[in-house]
Amino acid sequence: MADHYRAPLDDMRFVLNELVDLDRLAEVGAFETATPDLVDQVLEEAAKFAEKVVAPLNQAGDQQGVRLENGVVRMPDGFVDCYRQYVDAGWPAVCGDTNYGGQGLPWTLNIALSEIWQAANMSLANAWMLTQGAVDAIQEHGTSEQKATYLPKLISGEWSGTMNLTEPNAGSDVGALRTKAVAENGAWKITGTKIFITHGDQDMSENVVHLVLARTPNAPEGTRGISLFVVPKLMVEPDGSLGTRNDLRVVSLEHKLGHMASPTAVMSYGDNEGAIGYLLGEENQGMACMFTMMNNARLNVAVQGLAIAERAYQRALQWAKERIQGNDISGRSAEKVTIIRHPDVRRMLMDMKSQIEAIRALCYSIAEARDLASQHPDDAVREQYRGYLDLMTPVAKAWSTDQGFEIASIGVQVHGGMGYIEETGAAQYLRDARITMIYEGTNGIQALDLIRRKLPREIAATKKLFSEMHETVQALSDDGNPSLAATGEQLAPAIASLEKATRWMRETISTDPEAAAAGATQFCRMLGFIAGGWLLAKSALRATKLDANGKTVSGIGVTKTQIARFFAEQHLGPAAALLGPITNARNTVMALPEENF
């Protein structure tokens, strides 16, 4: 059975127009061209390109993989041509700075496009995602000369970008890195080894611009002594042309569980005379600069969780509608039925669909917050959205990818035994999804970031979030719709539990950080599920009003209401019950002596 991808444009449009509110974004001067009509046209064209060109390479690329030949990484068949079409069509430049050849459209649109690209072919879209992060970092921290040199080609996609943090001895503990940078002739000579470098090399772009963390002589220990450098694969001449090969190379490619068509490289810098690099930002401020790129990547990785879940759902739904097996348990038919008629299969599909819609709403709402935090003319509004952006980014990265993997696993289950066979494609989604929970900061690190940095700092943002959640509960009660009221009955106590957990976490992180850390992952999970349930409830309220006003396809209110109610009844109770594990984890997590493990 063919594995076709179709961009879920109706669901995406609903979130963009009804939850995110493109009209409001277009009122901001920087985004005045981003009208709903234009956004819709862009999404339509992206869907066509993804469905016809990008997605058909996904399974074949997984089967063929990448290879290292004479120091050059060769991509699977069709990838180079696809990349060229992507660049020629102007897709990389959608949200780029207009001063450097970009189109200046909002990040909210770019996140929607990212969902399409990542669902179509995540291994290929990884290169596109990291280049956007490099653009952000150079845009924010680069000199005028660095911007003029690198941004036009990165924004156009002619050159690609990478992120070089991890070393054999320094994974999440970035402060332990040993790569060195020594000043010489107005530049820096970089020597060291980096591992796990996604798209560290490939044969698709003309040049690869590496952003490399290294330590300068006499720098302080730990993360306070790290600097960030721009290290191009091919040197850039004063006239912008490409020159000689820099002293860097791919030593090997990792053999991985998934992402077979995404080269994960071991990079060596300075084996001979030293790789030439250029300081980005201030010396010893490398982590602050790199976090610009990492925060970009963390939201994009959250979207990867969404995208792989959507792809797994579409595959499972197609199978469930075609696979005939078993009798109709209701007794309404004496014939064998397709498995979508079985309650447990329907439960799994509803679980997949409802979680996907919750994740999409969360990711898009954070993208909107990024746009408004950076471009809204009112300082107070910018601060309001900055708070939501900072608070919810680690939640989105962790919760979206945790559930993306779970949804991919459910997709395998819907297929039964055939899901375990590579031929159907369901297993690839499960394999590919697993890395999203690890890279760009493991999900445990996201949870620690949430409780150690974001909760203590973003008090106003948390208070506003809870206030909006309570307003939604009241609206559900006032509407008069029994299904909406049922959703509210689940949402209200969940919010109350979340508020209690938040108070406990804020108090405990300052007095007993180890106890707070023991419950951090469960707290992040709790906030993800309850925020997702709240956004689905908002969706249901909006959809029922659209139905009543005859402004959209008849029946969307019923659909969104049932999805919100299913999610609320299946997930909000367990999420609220996490209050106990969050507050009690300190009693047992660290209690057992190491020698007893």
- Catalytic positions, please? 440
Flag whether the pTM goes above 0.85: yes
Structural domain boundaries of the chain? 447-591
Report the C-alpha gap between 192 and 248 in whole angstroms: 10
> Residue holding tokens 């061209």?
33
Report the C-alpha gap between 382 and 376 in whole angstroms: 6
Report the C-alpha gap between 455 and 462 in whole angstroms: 8
350 CB-contact burial (10 Å; exposed 0-12 / middle 13-18 / buried 19+): middle
Report the C-alpha gap between 155 and 132 in whole angstroms: 8
Q: 90 phi and psi, to 5 degrees?
A: 85, 15
What is the token pair recorded at 160?
């690609």
Instruction: Write down the pLDDT at residue 3.
Output: 72
Instruction: Write down the pLDDT at residue 554.
Output: 59
> In sequence order, what are the residues at sequence separation of 6 or more whose Cβ sits closer than 8 angstroms to the Cβ of residue 208?
159, 160, 161, 162, 199, 200, 201, 202, 232, 233
C-alpha dist (Å) from residue 209 to 155, 205, 229, 329: 12, 10, 10, 59
Among 266, 264, 236, which Cα is nearest to 249's?
Answer: 266
> Residue holding tokens 């471009």?
375
Instruction: Write down the pLDDT at residue 552.
Output: 54
Burial letters for 400-426: b for 16+ Cβ neighbours within 10 Å, e otherwise? Answer: bbbbbbbbbbbbbebbeeebeeeebbb
Asked if residues 276 and 184 have their Cβ atoms less than 8 Å apart, the reply is: no
Asked if residues 187 and 278 have their Cβ atoms less than 8 Å apart, the reply is: yes
Amino acid at 182: V
Among 397, 512, 513, 398, which Cα is nearest to 452's?
Answer: 513
Q: What is the mean pLDDT of each run of 10 residues along the chain (597 residues)?
A: 87 95 89 93 98 98 97 96 98 96 96 98 97 96 98 98 92 86 96 97 98 95 94 97 98 97 98 96 92 89 98 98 94 91 98 98 98 96 97 98 98 98 96 97 97 97 98 96 97 98 98 98 98 98 85 76 98 98 97 96
Instruction: Write down the pLDDT at residue 9.
Output: 97
What is the token pair recorded at 452?
């150690």
